[in-house]
Amino acid sequence: MRIAIVDDLADERVLLRQRLEHQLARRNVQADLLEYESGEAFLTAAQDEPFTVAFLDIYMAGANGIETARALRQHDTDCLLIFTTTSTDHALEGFQVRAMQYLVKPFTEDDIAQLMDEIFARLPQPDKYMALKTSEGELRLAYKNILYAEHFAHVIYIHTTAGKTLTTRQPFKTFIEPLKDDPRFFVCGRGVIVNLEHASDLDGAAFRMVDGSNVGISQDLLKSARQAFMEFLLQRGTDL
């Protein structure tokens, strides 16, 4: 998720960035926030890689927010546009470039919270991440990058899609707590959790993972594992 903040006033960019970072952290959503002091600089960056959301100040030196939005719409019809402004006088022009919302200055924390709810309602659900203290230092690991995790001797070994194994010291119960409500994850037994998104098959009493590894399932959980895997595959097929 890429978010652009376009405003010729540095103080305004910093304030909006801080509010957005707070709301993203509350939702455990990872995003790249990039600042631009002009519409021209933003348009150059948008040519290289598209943005998910763009906050455009209407009153800027050079290309103003409306002109910038018109130029963007020539090659990007998907980016969600939010105009930041002290007035809604340009509502008609905003409608013409399919602006999602006007954020009227000075805005509050609640204004940003409501706006972020609107944004996420329009987007595919962004992947969540967990903050970890590992042997490699502190990092944020996206759920989608977890293949499976195992708990041995007070250490959790997290096998990732990048082919690396991360280690972290924490109770297994604490580690799986944020994952329990995510339908991608299934606890296979004591100290083992698997990401069904990366399971290619359920073979006997083990999940066969896309990297060729096998993750064993406790005998008393086999029926639940088959049901969870089938429901996950059916749901994924519905979403495609």
List Cβ neighbours of 165 (8 Å cut-off, separation of 6 or more).
157, 158, 159
List of domains in the chain = 2-122 (3.40.50.2300), 131-239 (2.40.50.1020)
pLDDT above 90 covers what percent of the chain? 59
Specify the pLDDT at position 140: 87
- Model pTM above 0.95: no
pLDDT in tens, 208-225: 999 999 999 999 999 999
Greater pLDDT, 89 or 134: 134
CB 117 within 8 A of CB 101: no
The structure tokens listed for 231 are 């429901």
Question: CA 99 to CA 221: how far, in whole Å?
Answer: 50
Specify the pLDDT at position 92: 58
The structure tokens listed for 91 are 């509502």
* Span 33-62, average pLDDT: 93
* Dihedral angle, C-alpha 57, 60, 62, 64, nearest 10 °: 40
Greater pLDDT, 105 or 227: 227
Distances from the Cα of 10 to the Cα of 16, 20, 170, 199, 230, angstroms? 10, 15, 41, 47, 51
Specify the pLDDT at position 240: 44
CB 34 within 8 A of CB 42: no
Specify the pLDDT at position 85: 83
The pLDDT mean for the chain works out to 89
